[in-house]
Amino acid sequence: EIVMTQSPATLSVSPGERATLSCRASQSVSSNLAWYQQKPGQAPRLLIYGASTRATGIPARFSGSGSGTEFTLTISSLQSEDFAVYYCQQYNNWPQWTFGQGTKVEIK
């Protein structure tokens, strides 16, 4: 089973600053990696798929990079609505998903 590890668990950032979130896979997942945003009481929302392709309607301040086992989600200038929990997910061995444990982005 592929294990996804996210870091840090919590990231404290001031509005307008850059946030960098990391995700590591226990074995290569190629570019079959997605990022989701989840706010309290809401379903997850797809941000990025294919490691770097923004989903429909996602602002350009969200960008994804990486391949193989190391991935990064960058939020270039944090807006108030971006404070949430972010999950990475691999789908390389579809049909099976594996999620990371999440990174909470909180206001500093």
CA-to-CA distance for 63 and 25, rounded, in angstroms? Answer: 19
Confirm if 6 and 66 have CB atoms less than 8 A apart.
no
- In whole angstroms, how close is the CB of 53 to other proteins at the nearest point? 9
Q: Does 83 bind other proteins (CB under 8 A)?
A: no
Q: Does 91 bind other proteins (CB under 8 A)?
A: yes
Q: Does 55 bind other proteins (CB under 8 A)?
A: yes
Q: Does 9 bind other proteins (CB under 8 A)?
A: no
Q: Does 58 bind other proteins (CB under 8 A)?
A: no
What is the helix, strand, coil percentage profile of the chain, to 5?
Answer: 5, 50, 50
Confirm if 79 and 105 have CB atoms less than 8 A apart.
no
Give the range of 16-24, 43-51, 60-68, 71-79 binding other proteins by CB under 8 A. Answer: 43-51
CA-to-CA distance for 37 and 103, rounded, in angstroms? Answer: 10
Q: Does 77 bind other proteins (CB under 8 A)?
A: no
Q: How many CA atoms lie within 13 A of 90 on its CB side?
A: 26
Task: Please give the size of the binding site for other proteins, defined by CB under 8 A.
Answer: 22
- By CB under 8 A, name the binding residues for other proteins: 34, 36, 38, 43-46, 49, 55-56, 87, 89, 91, 94-102
